[in-house]
Amino acid sequence: MSNSKSPETLGRIENLRQKFFKLYGHHPEGIWRAPGRVNLIGEHTDYNLGYVLPFAIDKNALVAIRRISEREPEAKQLNLASTYGHSDIPEITRVAVDQLAPGAVTGWAAYPAAVAWALNQLDNVEISGFELLVDSDVPVGSGLSSSHALEVSTIVALNDLYELGLSPTRMAQLTQQAENDFVGAPTGIMDQSASLMSKAQNALFLDCRSMQAQTVPLPLAQNDAVVLVIDTRVEHSHVDGGYAARRQSCEEASEILQVSSLREIETVAQLEAIEDPIVRRRAKHIVTENQRVLDTVKVLKVGDLQAVGKLLYQSHVSMRDDYEISCEELDVAVEASLEAGAIGARMTGGGFGGSSIALVKREQIEAVSRAVRMAFDQAGYKEPNIFTVIADEGAGRA
């Protein structure tokens, strides 16, 4: 069942409408919803034009928007506000549309601003001033794509309001451009695609080279299983540091192997031409991870969750040892989940913090959660945030 119409979401929608009116003195033209995502498997393969298998989750960004009319003084301005802080009256970030340029807006407001900017790069599109208020329950910095939920909710809203007729693939590309060129994070296309194209109870099997997407049913309910998210509360950012460095190693490997992307490489043996052991290990993760995505799709189709679990853990080991994007907290979360009986576990998302996932039988939720909490406590880490997620429907009008 999709969460989009749950009593909780209906309450949030109503609340947002009221807050919008209180803040701007007008009613919004509508409210749009875009979910965060969990990646089941296929990590860092997207910018290598490989395969990914994420799904949208029942945590989302809701965005209320009203276009400012030509007759109003702020007709050419973006007024951006969010309920993130706890104050009753949200602060408004004001940006003139003709001042939108990479680096001109920072903080969370950069994401909706980036989307308006990216749309205005298109011929025949002229996004003018609007008022926006966002309310999101995707935990920030948790590796569950809170920033993409923000971008995607903004683009689906503007696509509807301006009747742009953009396809989900086009919107994914545009939000990627917004994120890469305006915000300055060199991320791939998986997260936006998951938020835009997912179907409830399914994972999204996406080929990032052809952008062909297939839904793959998740046989969870019939196996009495759920996906548990363990947010380590180690915050990560992809604007700088490790993410970009990994991407660069992949580009270096492609250059040495004379291929346009690592997607072209099918076997680990082909990587022997790479002398630098670090670059070779990075490339090995991508090659083996692509194969694991294909294998996961196969075993999901026959409902073999044990086999899925094994692949999840192999993926984690590869990210820990070859790609080196895990961290102690993520490793502890994964090991403690498995020791307490999880079918499989791995870190999810870009890494260097954020969340891990565990595939668990319903009756094991308590035991696994307790074991992870205890392990964190013993290691002296912050208390993790642990919750189950449902594979939800992609973005749309709320």
CB of 322 to ligand GLA, least distance (A): 14
Q: At what angle do helices 277-301 and 305-321 cross, to 10 degrees?
A: 170
CB of 145 to ligand GLA, least distance (A): 6
* Alpha-carbon torsion, ordered 376, 238, 146, 102, to 10 deg: 160
CB of 238 to ligand GLA, least distance (A): 6
Query: Toward ligand GLA, which CB reaches closer, 16 or 183?
Result: 183
**Per-residue DSSP letter, 21:** H
CB of 47 to ligand GLA, least distance (A): 6
Query: Toward ligand GLA, which CB reaches closer, 129 or 349?
Result: 349
Element (H, E) at 396: strand 396-397
Pairwise CA distance, residues 60 & 228, whole Å: 17
CB of 55 to ligand GLA, least distance (A): 14
Query: Toward ligand GLA, which CB reaches closer, 64 or 308?
Result: 308
Q: At what angle do helices 146-161 and 110-120 cross, to 10 degrees?
A: 40
Select from 185, 238, 187 the least CA-distant residue to 208: 187
- Is 191 tagged catalytic? yes
Residue type, 21: F
Select from 212, 216, 200, 197 the least CA-distant residue to 53: 216
User: Among 191, 231, 322, 392, which one carries the catalytic annotation?
Assistant: 191
The C-alpha angle with vertex 395 and arms to 244 and 229, in degrees rounded to 5, equals 60
Query: Toward ligand GLA, which CB reaches closer, 109 or 293?
Result: 293
Q: Locate 387 and state its tokens.
A: 């919750």
- Residue pair 390/180 in contact by the 8 Å Cβ criterion: no
Pairwise CA distance, residues 350 & 357, whole Å: 13
Query: Toward ligand GLA, which CB reaches closer, 44 or 233?
Result: 44
Q: Locate 252 and state its tokens.
A: 């270096």
Query: Toward ligand GLA, which CB reaches closer, 20 or 243?
Result: 243
CB of 182 to ligand GLA, least distance (A): 15
What number of other Cβ atoms are within 10 A of residue 58's Cβ? 22
Furthest-apart CA atoms within the chain: distance in Å = 65
363: Cβ contacts below 8 Å, ≥ 6 apart = 224
CB of 203 to ligand GLA, least distance (A): 14
Pairwise CA distance, residues 370 & 336, whole Å: 9
Helices (H) and strands (E) in the chain, counts: 10, 12
- Note the residues at the interface with ligand GLA (CB under 6 A): 39, 43-44, 46-47, 187-188, 190-191, 238, 349-350
- Residue pair 59/41 in contact by the 8 Å Cβ criterion: no
Query: Toward ligand GLA, which CB reaches closer, 28 or 54?
Result: 54
Catalytic annotation, residues: 191
